[in-house]
Every structure is written in C-alpha cells, then in structure tokens.
Amino acid sequence: MTTRRCPRCQATYPAPARYCVKDGSPLVEAESTATFAPAPGRAPIPLSGVHTEEYAVSPEEIDRCATLSGKLLDRRYQVGKRLGEGGMSYVYRAQDVQSGAPVAVKILLPRLSRDPAAVERLRREASIATRLDHPNVCPILRLGEADGMIYLVMPYLEGEPLSEHEARRGPFPLTEGIPLLVEICHGLQHAHEMQIIHRDLKPENIMLVPEPPSPGETEPRHRAVVMDFGLAKERRAGPEVAKLTATGIVLGTPEFMSPEQIRGKPLDGRSDVYALGILAFELFTGQLPFAGKSAQETMIARLRGAPTKLRDLRSEMPAKLEAAITRCLAVDVAERFQSMDELAHAFDGVIATGVLGRLFRRS
C-alpha cells in the first residue's frame, strides 16, 4: 500500500489521502525527497484541484525565491528585507525605483507559477483587490512577471500583524479591541458590498498600522487593515473560478473556518462573520473558542456548535460582547449577524452605552 507523508510535520497517511489533517499541507509520496516551503503560524488548506506532485518544490526553487534581497526585480523594484513566507509565496519589502515609494512584493513560488490553477488564483487575487478602495483594506497595485516568477505589488504598511501583537502583548483590553473589530467590520462590509468574500480571515491577515493620536488623546492608536484577499471569492464567480474550489477540498485556515466552509458548501459574507467571531474571541482571551488537539478536532467541534463562552475565561467582559461573539458562532447562518454593518453596530454597542461607554469616551 502506498504511503504518503506531510513534508511539514512528517505525519504519514495511506493513499489516496492528499492533505494533512493537522496542518493542511499537500502530501508527498513517503519515499519522495521533495520539500515544501515552511509556513509560520497557522497553515492554510491548499488550493483544490491541483495534484500534490505539482506542489513539490525543489530546494533550488525555494532558494531562488528566498534570496531576492538586494536584487532589482523586473527593472523596477529594488528588493529589500524579506518580511515573511507562506506555503505558496514569499513577501519582501521593496522600493519602486520609478516612484520612490516603499512597497511590499509577494513572489509566487516558481513551480506554482507554472501551474495554471495557481496562476488563476493569483490573477483573481489581483483582479479582486485592485477594485477594493477602503482605509481598512489593503489593495493590490500591480501584477507582474519577471524571470519566470509571478509577483504582486502592494502598498507597504508600517506596523505589525495582529497575530504578532497578540503574541507580544497578550489578550486585548476591551477599549483597544472593540475599535479594531469595528474597523475590520467596515473593511469587510466594503468587500461584501462588492460581492467579495474574504474566506481566510485570521489575525495573521490583519495589519495594525500606527495612527497619530486623535485630539485629546496622548497615546497613538492603530488602524486595522484587512490583508491578503488571496482566498477571496466573488459571490457571482464564473465556472473558471468554481473549478478552483470543486472536489470538496476547501480553502481557508482550519481554526477559523465556518461550518459551511468545512463542509465545502456555498459561502456568503456570513462565513466571514463567523471567522470574525473566532478572531474576536481570541483577541480578548488568547484562546480559541473550540477545543481540540488538532485542526481536525476543532473542525468537528465547530460542526457540533459548542463554543466556550467568553466570560468563562474573562468574567469581567460585558455580557453584550459575549452575546455578540456567540451569535457570530451560530452553526446556522440565519442565526448569525446578517451583515458586517450589523456586527459593527453590535460591537459599538458594547462600549457606547452605560458606565463603560462613558469611561471609554473620556479615555
């Protein structure tokens, strides 16, 4: 019997298994020496409809993408420090030599750039994100190709991902977390109004950008910017996009998937509402609302619909906030908030009334 293994965690599975249930990586034949670019943090479930051998990336190809610092890309972008990496790409800080502006450049791994489905995904990402125009959403400036590599150019945002901020500081206080959640709602509402669903909302995809203090404030604040619409999907997508998510393998990050996303069902903006509920729970507690020793176990827990209550972990949190997060996490989409505007209003209501609201307005 053929055995396959996960190149990240080395877990083995019998054929015809194609993906690791622990971290979502595409499996390779057990005897294969192919490697896969490591991804820090949570691992996204890979693109469906593409054979695993097409994801086998040689060390030479990985090295090519991983060593662009100091080089001039496409005679236009002076590549600087590498900012991060994922299963399908590397991200660098760079300077546009034509405008002098700092930018972020996302490089698709060379082997993947030769795969039509992966290229279609990237072109779709660029097409979608160039239409977004909101202070709480990061747009795409350009899609290009050079030296056999396909790349995306985005504005460079000074700041840090929400995931790193959480790891450094721990759970957020209410008066810092609620305004960020409201801004995320506003950014996603803008996308939803354009018939675009994010589908991979998580702390790693939220950038906190420092902003000058408002009048009367002494401390700088942060603006939340939703990043990486690489898994975004147009609600009215055509058959060429539908092929990318057929076969029952879904896109997203296991810990933040909605029940309908786990099941591979049709999605709308209420799936992002669910993911934002999980993000909000983690923001205030440092934990996920569903227990499990693996991504597979947390998925099963979400299908059963029994999340931990917010105030079981932080009893000082308002009942209104617990109720809002619990409603986000309803298994039935009809029981959730029906729009991001509706959810933003609920979050606003947590700090806009009563003694807490008066204290917040004075701070």
Higher pLDDT, 242 or 58: 58
Residue 29 β-bridge partners: 4
Looking at residue 137, which CATH number applies to its domain?
A: 3.30.200.20
- State both tokens at 162: 């929400």
In a domain, 322, yes or no: yes
pLDDT grade for 113, boundaries at 50, 70 and 90: low
Question: Per-residue pLDDT tens for 260-291?
Answer: 888 888 899 999 999 999 999 999 999 999 87
Q: Are residues 238 and 320 in the same domain?
A: yes
Looking at residue 215, which CATH number applies to its domain?
A: 1.10.510.10
For residue 246, is pLDDT > 90? no
Q: Which range among 151-160, 229-238, 347-356 shows the weakest confidence by mean pLDDT? A: 229-238
Q: What is the pLDDT of residue 127?
A: 79
pLDDT grade for 337, boundaries at 50, 70 and 90: very high
The domain of 344 spans 160-362
Q: What is the pLDDT of residue 200?
A: 87
CA dihedral 298, 304, 310, 312 (to 10 degrees): -100
Higher pLDDT, 215 or 47: 215
Q: Which range among 5-14, 98-107, 141-150, 217-226 shows the weakest confidence by mean pLDDT? A: 5-14
Q: Are residues 145 and 195 in the same domain?
A: no
Average pLDDT over residues 98-114: 83
- Last residue of some domain: 110, 126, 155? 155
Q: Are residues 274 and 357 in the same domain?
A: yes
How many angstroms separate the CA atoms of 295 and 284, rounded?
Answer: 21
In a domain, 56, yes or no: no
Average pLDDT along the chain: 77
Q: What are phi and psi of 82, to 5 degrees?
A: -75, 130
Q: Are residues 215 and 358 in the same domain?
A: yes
How many angstroms separate the CA atoms of 278 and 275, rounded?
Answer: 5
Q: Which DSSP symbol is given to 351?
A: H
Question: Per-residue pLDDT tens for 27-56?
Answer: 565 533 222 233 333 333 232 222 333 445
Q: Are residues 205 and 280 in the same domain?
A: yes
Average pLDDT over residues 155-172: 90
Pick the catalytic residue: 74, 115, 133, 200? 200
C-beta atoms surrounding 286 within 10 Å: 15
- Last residue of some domain: 132, 155, 178? 155
Q: Are residues 205 and 107 in the same domain?
A: no
Q: Are residues 211 and 292 in the same domain?
A: yes
Q: Are residues 309 and 352 in the same domain?
A: yes
Q: Amino acid identity of 37? A: A
Q: E strands, 185-264, where?
A: 196-197, 206-211, 221-226, 233-234
Q: Amino acid identity of 254? A: P
The length of the chain in residues reads 363
- State both tokens at 219: 């401390």
Q: What is the pLDDT of residue 77?
A: 97
CB neighbour list of residue 45: distance below 8 Å, 6 or more residues apart: 19, 24, 249, 250, 251, 252, 253, 254
For residue 23, is pLDDT > 50? yes
Q: Which range among 13-22, 162-171, 186-195 shows the weakest confidence by mean pLDDT? A: 13-22
Q: What is the pLDDT of residue 294?
A: 74
Known catalytic membership, residue 312:
no
Average pLDDT over residues 139-162: 87
In a domain, 31, yes or no: no
Q: Are residues 323 and 176 in the same domain?
A: yes
Q: What is the pLDDT of residue 232?
A: 54
Contact 178, 350 (CB under 8 A): yes
Q: Are residues 167 and 151 in the same domain?
A: no
- Last residue of some domain: 155, 190, 217? 155
Tell me which range, 190-204, 262-276, 327-341, 342-356, is most confidently predicted by mean pLDDT: 327-341
Q: E strands, the chain, where?
A: 3-5, 12-14, 28-29, 72-73, 77-85, 89-96, 102-108, 142-146, 149-155, 160-161, 196-197, 206-211, 221-226, 233-234
In a domain, 68, yes or no: yes
In a domain, 51, yes or no: no
Q: Are residues 208 and 320 in the same domain?
A: yes
Q: What is the pLDDT of residue 236?
A: 41
CA distances from 295 to 25, 100, 160, 227 (A): 12, 43, 25, 23
Angle between helix 340-352 and 269-285 (nearest 10)? 30
Q: What is the pLDDT of residue 36?
A: 27
- State both tokens at 139: 């747009």
Q: Are residues 130 and 266 in the same domain?
A: no
In a domain, 55, yes or no: no
Q: What is the pLDDT of residue 19?
A: 52
In a domain, 1, yes or no: no
In a domain, 6, yes or no: no
Domains of the chain: total: 2
Q: What is the pLDDT of residue 238?
A: 40
